[in-house]
Copies of this chain bind each other. A is one copy, B any other.
Amino acid sequence: MLERFHVPKDKAIFIKPKEILKTVTSIFSKTGLPDQDSLQAAEVLIYADSRGIDSHGVSNMLRSYVDSFNKGNLNNNPKWKIKKEFGAVCTIDGDGGLGSVVGPHGMREAIKRAKEFGIGSVTVMNSGHFGAAAYYADQAVKSNMIGLATTGGGVGMAPTFSSEKLLGLNPIAVGAPTKVNPPFIFDASTSSVAGNKIELARRLGVKVLPGWISDKDGVPIMEEVNIPEYDNPKDKPMVLPFGGTRELGSHKGYSFSVIAEILCGGLGNNGLGPFRRDMTAHHFTAYNI
């Protein structure tokens, strides 16, 4: 992660993973989640913090999850179920639960099918934010498989040459086990920078780099700037696809975001980008090796 996204040492509070896990689990329990689900959701958050992904950890995410439970925007006791299945693939209805509660079941199902058929592919629809995509790729790695995880996240990306936000800042994660070295685990947004990081930059008051965001007409801002104020203060900046400009390959970031939409909202029959219906969707593939 770039230096600017690390919480400065004088502001950071260091807590042992075991202790924060206990605290976060009990906070989730207070929102009405069953014990097992509280622990699972806490584990996904603390996985991110332990790997240095502050943007997807406790300090940046927990507040909004609790808020969504309290407002009734997330189901705190989701009865997820397989909606459709065929051999090595299935679609799961997440019953409006938090993504980090129902998502891990998706990858477990993919791993199970990969054991039987060599590959397993699962889409979870009607689900909330699933946290750091790396967590799910790592589930496959821990089963000695190659794992792919992706999700539709918000609608904050302006495609190349667009003046409108039309796609999610969809992350793609891939993990592969290794014999000797630490496993390969990749997890990145298909946008120039993750949406959570833009929010973190706003919180930390740091500048964004050239090629990360566009002005309100969709023109890439090619200098280092503070996040501009918008007419409506609730508006978030339009984030550019990775690459930033057409010449540096923003059409690739744009397309990888579309691919994530296809694997999630497409395979989950839940609609793409601004046309998503029941919350969002995630996709998991496990390759048995």
Contact = CB atoms under 8 A, between A and B. Distances in A.
B119 A89 contact: yes
A209 interface: yes
B118 A87 contact: yes
Interface residues of A, number: 44
A192 B121 contact: no
A73 to B, nearest CB: 30
Contacts of A118: 86-89, 121
Contacts of A121: 118-119, 287
B119 A186 contact: no
Chain copies in complex: 2
Interface string A255-289: 11011001100110000000000000000010111
Contact of A248 (B86, B243, B251, B288): B243
A146 B262 contact: yes
Contacts of A256: 186, 256
Interface of A is mostly: mixed
Contact of A176 (B117, B211, B266, B287): B266
Given A87-B116, A243-B243, A249 B176 contact: no
A174 interface: yes
Contact of A242 (B87, B176, B243, B258): B243
Contact of A249 (B146, B174, B188, B285): B188
A106 interface: no
B89 A87 contact: no
A186 B117 contact: no
Contact of A119 (B88, B246, B262): B88
A192 B253 CA distance: 12
Contacts of A211: 248
A284 to B, nearest CB: 12
Interface string A22-53: 00000000000000000000000000000000
A11 to B, nearest CB: 23
8 A-B pairs closest in CB distance:
A89-B118, A87-B117, A186-B255, A86-B118, A242-B249, A88-B117, A87-B118, A119-B121
Interface of A: 2, 86-89, 116-121, 146, 174, 176, 184, 186, 188, 192-193, 209-211, 242-244, 246-249, 251-253, 255-256, 258-259, 262-263, 266-267, 285, 287-289
